[in-house]
Structure 1
């Protein structure tokens, strides 16, 4: 299992925790979308968050969408994940390039700048749940920490990191989400805040080749860490030609008729996995017949 998430509790169930290693899926996303290093870092962070947040959902058909719309040159990002931690996503401008920040790191905050983070949970109810917050830093982890505090009233610490090699391959990717339960005692809260404050950065832990288990042990070992299970996570897109055909049907017979009148095949591209689907004119005619 190359990419996986560890789910755990600590402090007599007063703390719940998730940690993930996502190097393979972030590398796959980079190759699919041909992203620049800074776009890879931004998308990789959001994919990592999506995989962990997706795994928190209970229902087999539950879907999570993380959407960022922003004023920075990256334009925005969208990630979706299911409860089995299958995740997919894309950036609006995959070729964005910026100079490093003052610390010499990829300046994801500058790439996003001002904007809004939306968390959409589709749990099979009449309407999906949507929570929204403004970006507080554009660094994504801090924005999600703020989202949890304001929209879900769950005190959380979110850390996300992507380390790139000089040749634009992914060296390490991963992160953690640590949350306090409503009944957490003040002593536990204070101790956890102190411990998290001692962490220099998630990238330094990843760079030391720490596994998700080792990261959680490092942070929560003194609280009595109890690892519950591990779940595989991967970049997975469920698009098919049949699903794309349904999308074509939804644009209406008049528009499809105009495409047929041009007597040219059309190409439809999946945003999430960059797969191209071609429909010949005779296929478009069949689609119109079937949609009657």
Structure 2
């Protein structure tokens, strides 16, 4: 089953659900993530895709968990077209299982700040922040949406990793009651949420995004809207990395030219770009032309 996201409405509720197993495995491969890091990054990327699904084309969203736990920062960028990229500062983190016998993502994240930044085409992006509650990602984002954006919502996320560090099920959902949602609808929704199994279990059992929505909205008429393919995709390129190098001060660029080559690694996708002496000299020359007063 390819990764995908489905949108629907049901009796005064907006709901998105996503299956993200393949893109989580791509992140694991690129960053060599151990299970706790894989779960934390996978949940954050899935959440970014769910929240970005509410944006317009050409807009984007970034989620960042900056905690004091051993994982360091966890960052994910997503766009409504279905592309996501992300990284975790310390992918090689081993922790004992938590008291529920599950991966201790909260212990890996620790205490700190959660921030969500929306790039909407305005001059300045809009960022909201709250203190991290438990570091389990979904609960923190549910609280963020209520406190920072004043939109009562429910976020569910799941990433299941096998002993070989392979993701065997990942996905999530985003629920938001609309102003016309009835009390009966909300009561039924709360009952359904208490009864459903974890998102990762539903995906592992072969359930697609529409199936997840049907489980969550059991007993309600569901109107399915659009579906979007999802994938891990980074916007980096050798040309863009060259532009970053061009922004270095002249002394640093001269040092790279003297070294004869430079290897630059993209944080988000771990892709490595090698620049040889002639390329570095051309970058230095171009930077000098831009610095020279007209």
**What is the TM-score with the length of structure 1 in the denominator?**
0.95
Residue 20 of structure 2 corresponds to 22
Could you tell me how far 1:169 is from its partner in structure 2? 1.0
Could you tell me how far 1:151 is from its partner in structure 2? 1.1
The whole-number CA distance in structure 1 between the counterparts of 2:251 and 2:98 is 51
Q: Establish whether residue 90 from structure 1 lines up as the match of residue 97 from structure 2.
A: no
Alignment gaps of 5+ in structure 2 = 290-294
Candidates 88, 111, 114, aligned match of 2:111: 114
Runs of 4+ in 1 over 6 A off after TM superposition: none
Is the contact between residue 52 and residue 85 of structure 1 (CA under 8 Å) also seen in structure 2? no
Could you tell me how far 1:203 is from its partner in structure 2? 3.0
Q: Establish whether residue 5 from structure 1 lines up as the match of residue 5 from structure 2.
A: yes
Which deviates the most, 170-179 or 193-202?
193-202
Residue 144 of structure 1 corresponds to 141
Candidates 127, 131, 135, aligned match of 2:132: 135
The whole-number CA distance in structure 2 between the counterparts of 1:81 and 1:108 is 21
Could you tell me how far 1:32 is from its partner in structure 2? 0.4
Alignment gaps of 5+ in structure 1 = none
Residue 285 of structure 1 corresponds to 281
Could you tell me how far 1:200 is from its partner in structure 2? 4.2
Could you tell me how far 1:265 is from its partner in structure 2? 0.9
The whole-number CA distance in structure 1 between the counterparts of 2:91 and 2:163 is 18
**What aligned pairs does 1:1-292 form with structure 2 within 5 A after superposition?**
2-11=2-11, 14-58=12-56, 60-260=57-257, 262-291=258-287, 292=289
Could you tell me how far 1:269 is from its partner in structure 2? 0.5
Q: Deviations over 1:195-249 (max 9, x none)?
A: 2122343233233322211111111132211110110010001111100011011
Q: CA RMSD in A?
A: 1.4
Name the count of aligned residue pairs: 288
**What is the TM-score with the length of structure 2 in the denominator?**
0.94
The whole-number CA distance in structure 2 between the counterparts of 1:166 and 1:252 is 46
Could you tell me how far 1:252 is from its partner in structure 2? 2.5
Q: Deviations over 1:18-64 (max 9, x none)?
A: 00111100001000000001111111111111112122111x21111
